[in-house]
Chains A and B, each alone.
Chain A
Amino acid sequence: MNERNVHRVIDGIWRIESAKIIASLARMVRDVGLAEDLAQDSLIIALERWPETRIPDNPGAWLMTTAKRRAIDHLRRNKLRDRKYEELGWEIDRQREPDWDEALDDPIGDDLLRLIFTTCHPILSTDARVALTLRLLGGLTTEEIASAFLVPEATIAQRIVRAKRSLAAANVPFELPPKAELAARLSSVLEVIYLMFNEGYAASSGGSWIRPMLCSEALRLGRILAEIAPDEPEVHGLAALMEIQSSRFRARVGQDGEPILLLDQNRALWDHLLIRRGGAAISRAERLGKAFGPYLIQASIAACHARARTSSETDWVRISALYDALSQAAPSPVVELNRAVALSMAFGPAIGLEVLDTLMEEPSLKNYHLLPSVRGDFLMKLGRKTEACLAFKRAANLARNEKERVLLLKRAAECSAD
């Protein structure tokens, strides 16, 4: 195997092993930034050595052992000559022939969980949390993260360095959050993953096909989280939501890159395997027998759409009820807007319009094009065409996406045409 090929093989191995190695080292050295540097050292050693020797039979274990030895060296070199390092040193010496099958068991899962709780720590800004999580959990390079967010590489590099520094400065412990903080900390983790997903999801309708990488990374993290924190219903809720939303990838953009709305999508193009996985994730959450949180409710709404063979078969009554539940669990003007749509589909546009009218003064929706767009739709159905035309024009003015703007102007023209 030539050197280039070996490097590519190492890339593949690194993708699989890096998060586990960083997580294990972070438990030893209690600093995620340092853990990543040490893990990188082991990667560099492999890149230098493997082309000359050969790739070991168990490359993951080789990298882990090498990285742990680096960590021990580091601890020895440093001031930390306390009892802790004696213990660790003894442990690693004893493990000359480590049982790596055992090492792949739960402790690794716990370390990964500690790692994700750390990279999503609330002391960091949201941007920093997302970048650090992609870097340490996803094993993405700075360059890859930068291209996903369409920002210069230096910006991301700096963001990651600062985030690591902030965690070290605040002395954030590398541990699972105490029970009292668990709910809040978990929701920070879920928020980061969903933000990552939405960043990719929103961009893909703008004609850009680079960012779906963010969706697949978020989905992968969601799936990992569902395995290492299986007792939390919202974890499965988020996984289900992302599975089902991902199932529509192929159907949501038209030939010329224009967005296709859910109800107009070609359902044959939906990925039914992902829909099934989403359904399975919802069932897993239901079996836990705990209350439904916002992600699980949203996933149930998505599943409701996914179950309908045609858009006319959609169970809007059930969806309205789920939106009622969502507006209780996580009230927001956008949820109200969606609730209005569901109500209008279930019980007629007049009822939807009533809910919308309560939102007209809502400051956070003032520049949100979907509010006048939905309003236009209701008015059109009620035969109030002049008002509908005005609403669509207003929506077109507010739309940020060029393709959406064209679509809205077309609808405005339709109401004034007859």
Chain B
Amino acid sequence: MRFMMVVKATHDSENGVKPDPNMLEAMARYNEELARAGVLVAADGLHPTSSAIRISYPEPGGKPKVLDGPFTETKEIIAGFTLIEVKSREEAIEWAMRMPDPHGFGEGQIELRQVFELSELTQDPETLAQLNQIQEQVTRKPRS
């Protein structure tokens, strides 16, 4: 099963302040450890929201509203993520506990989220039928 460790933004990450070299080193060691355990799938950091846009739909069925960054509520902003593939939720928690404090100034926050698997989405036969129908409509299978 896959889990995403989501690292939340801080004032520093949002203001483009470069992370502390010690923290960078700890993070690199941690990623190395994940790779050597065969659990690391992907890890990336995101640019601050000053270069982001937000698209919202304030009216149901209405036109989208586009808002330019930066956004202010740092605790809700994502600064980076690490995707791991593990055997159990407990293993994922243990790895998440070992991630270094991503900011170190009292603002560090990591969120652990499980990634949906197709089998979970398709437990219900009705949903399954619906999904397959959509697949058939959307995908045009080329025939040779």
Contacts and interface: CB of A to CB of B under 8 A. Distances in A.
Interface of A: 8-9, 11-13, 15-16, 101, 104, 109, 209, 216, 219-224, 227-228, 250, 255, 263-264, 266-269, 273, 277, 310-312
Interface in B1-55: 29, 33, 35-42
Contact of B135 (A224, A264, A269, A310): A269
B129 interface: yes
A322 B26 CA distance: 42
B141 A15 contact: no
Interface stretch (B56-64, B65-73, B88-96, B101-109): B88-96
B142 A266 contact: no
A255 B36 contact: no
Interface of B: 29, 33, 35-42, 83, 85-95, 118-119, 128-129, 132, 135, 138-139, 141-142, 144
A224 B37 contact: yes
B139 A228 contact: no
A273 B41 contact: yes
B122 to A, nearest CB: 9
Given A220-B85, A255-B128, A266-B139, A273 B42 contact: yes
Contact of A15 (B33, B36, B88, B128): B88
Contacts of B142: 310-312
B144 A312 contact: yes
Contact of A9 (B39, B42, B87, B90): B90
Contacts of A310: 142
A220 B39 contact: yes
Given A220-B39, A273-B41, 16 more contacts: A9-B93, A11-B90, A12-B89, A16-B94, A16-B95, A109-B36, A216-B87, A220-B38, A222-B38, A255-B128, A255-B129, A255-B132, A264-B141, A266-B139, A266-B141, A312-B144
Nearest to A311: B142
Contacts, number: 75
Nearest to A216: B85
Contact of B94 (A12, A216, A228, A268): A12
A11 B88 contact: yes
B9 to A, nearest CB: 23
Contacts of A311: 141-142, 144
Contacts of B93: 9, 12
Contacts of A104: 33
A135 to B, nearest CB: 14
29 contacts: A12-B93, A13-B94, A15-B87, A15-B88, A15-B90, A15-B91, A16-B95, A101-B29, A104-B33, A109-B36, A220-B39, A220-B85, A223-B35, A223-B39, A223-B40, A224-B36, A224-B38, A227-B38, A263-B144, A266-B135, A266-B139, A267-B139, A268-B139, A273-B41, A273-B83, A310-B142, A311-B141, A311-B144, A312-B142
Contact of A277 (B33, B41, B89): B41
